[in-house]
A and B are shown apart, each in its own frame.
Chain A
Amino acid sequence: MSEAMACRKAFDLDLVACLLDAGRPEWMEFREHYPRCAECAAEVRTWTELQSSLAPPHPGPEELIRFESRANDLPPDARTAIGAHIATCRSCRDELRALRAFDPRSMAAGGEQAKPRRRWWRGMGRLVLHPAVAYGIALALAIPLLFDAVGGRVTDKMAAFRAGGAGERKKVKEEVLARQSSDRLQSAPAATLEAKPAPPGYEAEGYGAPSAPAAPPAAPAAARPSDTLALAKAAAAPERRREAMAGNQARRDGAPDDERPVVVLTPDREVVLQAPAQGLVLRLAPPRSQPAVPPGLAWLRVRDAAGRRELREQQFGSPGSSAEIRVPAGWLEPGSYRADILLGDDARPITVARFRIES
């Protein structure tokens, strides 16, 4: 039996006195103890509920305001009663203190500050600091050189791709993708360097686009060994971006996600998955301890272990239903991930689950 299970502290001290006035210095040790101890925490909650059911009603907000601003207008009995209550009630003292410090402008200003407000230059600050920008600049410089080497081949194929039927498109796509994978460590084909706008929907909500599809780097014909990892990632990036966009487009078009496997995550165990070919749908239930969250207020977020790449999806399901997010295959590199549910602007997730993608 663990030490916590055997703890008798809540039974050995005068818990009634402690809970009536836990702020006193003699209860400091127990105050620090009970949140960590299952036995004592349960006792404290039970006694708190009992004591709060016996406690006298608090003066109403109107009475508190009158007491604070025009105490002399109150009948003497009421004034004395409210004063006596406040002297022994910490929450009323707290309310009174807050009321005295209330600045009407702070609420209006605070609300405005907290409201997401997009400015075109706000994203620029983050962008300029991002290493991908360096890749992007190098890419812009390298395009003319690369075009001579591989661009011609690809543009010919792309022209055929546009002009041809579905069969031709498939063939060209397979050919290009096959060449991408074989050439990835030597050079990035021009087709993969095609600039695409970030998928809409992320930045508009103020959370930044999924960071996996970083701007591709310059790809010199003979890469140095130290550059190979960056090149490999960059070569795959536009592909991932296209998949992410396709996913978004499919959702906007109302296309079904039937082909994507649904993975139900739970906070108590890490799910291990093989890299899915079609991406996947992650599902995570809100904790039972949380009240139903109104639609539109919750977000399901997926982050990599380093916290550098993340996807978010706003949830519009019925209150209490599981949150879902569609994750494109290209975004899921082998590694560990964390999925969590966030509420509104609150940074603290209400539930967290983990999963791992194996190659």
Chain B
Amino acid sequence: MPEPAVDWMRVVERLAAGDRMAYAQFGRLITGYLSKLRAYDFREEWDDLRQEVAIAVVANVRAGRLRDSQALAAYVRVITRNKFIDRLKQHLRCRPDDRLPWDDETARAMAADEPDPRLRDLWQAVDDLPEEEQRVLDQIYRQGKTYEQASLATGLPLGTMKRRLRTALMALRLRFGDEVD
């Protein structure tokens, strides 16, 4: 999601000036992180969190604390995760000082801006799977269809289609297990 070539300082300057496109670009950076954190498991909307992050970033840029694009992206990553974890702890009725296992996992997930380059070969590996499994993966992940829609499109009964999907993903995980873990 986040593109390394983006000049985030320029985007934030435009955002501070009220530029709608800059808001869309900056929003993409934040939702990319929220997706990695699986934040959407806990709330459908994160408008307030996004707003808080955006305001904090604008304020820090104005105060001269953030001066380069990479530092800015790193700061957005840190602050988005921190604010999300705070809210998650409230949601789960944990104390702020409690350490959640998911906190550690999000740290691992957020450690790199870019996904593991070896995972880019994942769709190539799909070509090695049985054709029926390839079709199911294509319907679900490439075309974004629901289980029911994919079942209709492939002609597979729902239960069978789910088994094919699980088998296919297990095969991919085994193949890329070391990289993913």
Contacts and interface: CB of A to CB of B under 8 A. Distances in A.
B81 to A, nearest CB: 9
B154 to A, nearest CB: 16
B58 A65 contact: no
Counting chain B CB atoms within 10 Å of each CB, the highest count among A4, A58, A94, A104 belongs to A94
B122 interface: yes
30 contacts: A17-B147, A17-B162, A22-B38, A45-B105, A48-B36, A49-B109, A50-B119, A53-B119, A54-B137, A55-B141, A64-B24, A85-B144, A94-B46, A94-B47, A95-B28, A95-B31, A97-B47, A102-B23, A105-B18, A106-B51, A107-B15, A107-B54, A108-B16, A113-B55, A115-B62, A294-B74, A344-B66, A346-B78, A346-B79, A352-B97
B108 interface: yes
Contacts of B4: none
Interface of A, secondary structure class, is helix
B21 A107 contact: no
Contacts of A348: 82-83, 85-86, 96
A61 interface: yes
B152 interface: no
Given A91-B32, A94-B45, A345-B59, A84 B166 contact: no
Nearest to A205: B63
Contacts of A1: none
Contacts of A49: 109, 115-116, 119, 180
A88 B141 CA distance: 10
Contact of A344 (B24, B60, B94, B106): B60
Given A36-B101, A56-B144, A111-B16, A344 B65 contact: yes
Interface string B63-77: 111111001001101
B156 interface: no
Nearest to A33: B92
Given A41-B101, A98-B27, A290-B78, A114 B59 contact: yes
Contact of A294 (B47, B67, B142): B67
A20 interface: yes
A36 B55 contact: no
A320 to B, nearest CB: 11
Interface residues of B, number: 93
A110 B104 contact: no
B79 A344 contact: yes
A14 B166 contact: yes
A350 B108 CA distance: 15
Interface string A63-80: 011000000000000000
Contacts of A97: 45, 47
Contact of A291 (B60, B68, B78, B85): B78
Given A35-B101, A55-B141, A350-B82, A88 B146 contact: yes
Given A38-B101, A53-B119, A293 B27 contact: no
B126 to A, nearest CB: 8
A51 B172 CA distance: 10
B74 A107 contact: no
A116 interface: yes
Given A22-B38, A297-B60, A44 B75 contact: no
Interface in B22-52: 23-25, 27-28, 31-32, 34-36, 38, 40-42, 44-47, 50-51
Contacts of A352: 97
B107 to A, nearest CB: 3
A277 interface: no
Given A104-B18, A111-B58, A297-B65, A31 B144 contact: no
A359 interface: no
A180 B123 CA distance: 78
Contact of A44 (B56, B63, B68, B105): B105
Contacts of A41: 100-102, 104-105
A50 B41 contact: no
Nearest to A286: B78
Nearest to B53: A346
B40 A91 contact: yes
Given A91-B31, A101-B47, A290-B107, 5 more contacts: A35-B101, A102-B20, A108-B18, A111-B55, A113-B55
